[in-house]
Amino acid sequence: MTEQSGTTNQAMIDPVATTSRLTAAIRAAESTRPDRLFTDPFAAQLAGEPGRALLDQLQMHGSPIIPVRTRYLDDMIDEVVGRGVRQIVLLAAGMDSRAYRLDLPTDTVVFELDRPGLLHLKSELLGAATPSCTRVPVGVDLTTDFTTPLVAAGFRAELPTCWLVEGLTQYLTEADVHRLLDRITELSAPGCHLLIDFVGTSLLESRAMRPMLELLAARDMTWQYGNEEPETLLESHGWKTTVTRIGTAGTTLGRWPFPDAPRGTPEVPQGYFVHATT
């Protein structure tokens, strides 16, 4: 499709949903690096001019956060699928392209949940691209009950599932985060995996991060929720957890220019990746 058509449909997407085009622009830039952590051949088209413009406005060129997060979660999905899980649910799927770019087994079913308008735009932007597995888009508002439409779309709660919640929780209220986890837990049989990320309250309160957070807030993309103890949160919903600081993941990948400081280090904002299991 043409960028002009995509820009027209972009007008139907709310500001928070537009951040998915920003992350696609960052993935596109990462894919051009000689030391890239992954290759996303769909990212540039999914980003379009709105994603590239937002990347410029927020001055996020060269930031390692999204590339490290993407690679870390790619690796975790590969690991979970390697254990035999064939049902994946992407909550706030946005412009995620994993159903297309990852080498998933053909019998894998990927459910992509997001607002209907965003999923429609994404489908138009992808055009005739073919996923490597079965992809099932489900148009929902994730702050309401998404379980009924997900089951209606063919989700089987008795099967081991990999839930992916990427780049979402910071845009929610604390109450919405708890409701989201309640609904995931309700549909999770033994043997399920949850991959989820959190920004720390230290990041929300960081002086260094304040300019970017103010730019986001001015665009109605306000970050609201942070948590420095995600293991406590997830365990209260019945999950066993392994928590990795984003700085540790980035350092391991050789792409973290900041100190990998422990929690509670003054003036060091934290973020967390969580792998939880039932």
Kindly indicate whether the domain formed by 64-209+226-277 is annotated with CATH number 3.40.50.150.
yes
- Classified as helix, coil or strand, 250 is helix
Question: What are the tens digits of pLDDT across the range 213-242?
Answer: 999 999 999 999 999 999 999 999 999 999
Spans of all domains in the chain: 64-209+226-277
The phi, psi pair for 33, rounded to 5°, reads -75, 145
Question: What are the tens digits of pLDDT across the range 91-142?
Answer: 999 999 999 999 999 999 999 999 999 999 999 999 999 999 999 999 999 9
- Angle (nearest 5°) at CA 45 between 41 and 46: 95
- Classified as helix, coil or strand, 70 is helix
pTM metric for this prediction: 0.95
